[in-house]
Amino acid sequence: MFRDITIGQYLPGESFIHRLDPRTKILSVLFFMVGIFGVKHLTSYVFVLALTLFVILSARISLSYLLKGLKPIFIILVFTVGLHLFMTPGEELVRFIGLTITLEGVEKAAFMALRLIFLVLFASLLTLTTAPMSLTDGLEKLLTPFAKIGLPAHELAMMMSIALRFIPTLIDETDKIMKAQKARGADFESGNVWQRAKSMIPLLVPLFVSAFRRADELAMAMEARCYRGSQGRTRMKQLQYRPTDVLVTGLMGTFMLLTFLYL
């Protein structure tokens, strides 16, 4: 399951989506995230699906690879759907074992499931098509206007990009620790959900130790290279906002408005 996580990974490419300015992609994802919660009808998700498939095809990323990224959120998806399915009052459809499924519950469950799926797909596309350094520069540029009120734009952008960058690294580390403990007789697969959760506790201690060690090594490496934050910092590649970026940002902003007004 850990190997199926796609958020935080980067796949180099020369597609139209890869060439977009990172600020365009960040804003597009934000517009999409806001807009997806404005969709009021299940039939409108056909339009959202068409938009998502168009972006995936434009990025030239395998759909099966993206769908693998949904496996880690399967438990969250089932829990969310079940919560809305059985806890939403309304017109009764089915009753069994003291639980009632309502028409409104089915509709809300479908809405939440689709929203989670599309959000994960778009968030994955952002990191898969944007290099970590470009993502850092884009976030910093977008947060720079807030620096006038004391917001540390560069530091926040650096923290976010490092966190995203280390997701695949920590996943690989978790996989190695699990294999090492399985070789010593540890069992992570048998038993009920509670027993499996308890068996994961010995995994957390070495994982946290490894994470802190990597953080310390990264801090020492940054200090050795005289890193002092944004003060006096220059960039090898300057971000350029082209007409295509303006067009894409405008289209995604229009999508957000349409979801609240018509969809």
| Structural domain spans, the chain | 2-261
Cα–Cα distance, 75 to 189 (Å, whole number): 16
The confidence score (pLDDT) of residue 36 equals 87
Residue count (the chain):
263
- The token duo for 96 is 């069994």
Give me the pLDDT at residue 3, please.
55
Dmax over Cα atoms in the chain, in whole Å?
66
Residue 100: beta bridge partners? 95
* CB-based contacts of 11, cutoff 8 Å, min separation 6: 61, 128, 129
The pLDDT of 39-48, averaged and rounded, is: 81
What would the DSSP string read from start to end of 105-162?
A: HHHHHHHHHHHHHHHHHHHHHHHHSS-HHHHHHHHHHHHGGGGGGT--HHHHHHHHHH
pLDDT at 153 over 80: no
Q: What is the mean pLDDT of residues 176-181?
A: 80
Average model confidence (pLDDT) for the chain?
A: 81
Distance of CA 65 to the CA centre of its chain: 15
Q: What is the pLDDT of residue 234?
A: 67
Give the pairing type, strands 99-102 and 92-96.
Answer: antiparallel
Kindly state the average pLDDT of the residues 99-122.
85
Write out pLDDT tens, residues 79-102: 888 888 888 787 777 777 777 788
Confidence band (pLDDT; 50, 70, 90) for 8?
low
**Mean pLDDT value of segment 57-68:** 84
Q: Higher-confidence residue: 135 or 252?
A: 252
Q: How far apart are CA 190 and CA 194, in angstroms?
A: 11
Flag the least confident range among 4-8, 51-55, 117-121, 151-155: 4-8
CA distances from 129 to 126, 142, 182, 245 (A): 6, 18, 35, 15
Name which of 142, 141, 168, 145 is nearest 235 in CA terms: 141
Cβ atoms of residues 66 and 125 within 8 Å: yes
Burial class (CB in 10 A: 0-12, 13-18, 19+), 247: exposed
Over residues 248-258, the pLDDT tens digits come to 999 998 888 88
Tokens read off for 18 = 């890869």
**Does residue 50 or residue 225 have the better pLDDT?**
50
Residue 192 has pLDDT above 80, yes or no: no
Residue 49 has pLDDT above 70, yes or no: yes
Across 137-155, average pLDDT: 80
pLDDT value of position 83 = 83
Confidence (pLDDT) at 247: 92
pLDDT > 70: percent of the chain: 89
Burial class (CB in 10 A: 0-12, 13-18, 19+), 181: middle
pLDDT for position 47: 85
Burial of 31 (0-12, 13-18, 19+ CB in 10 A): buried
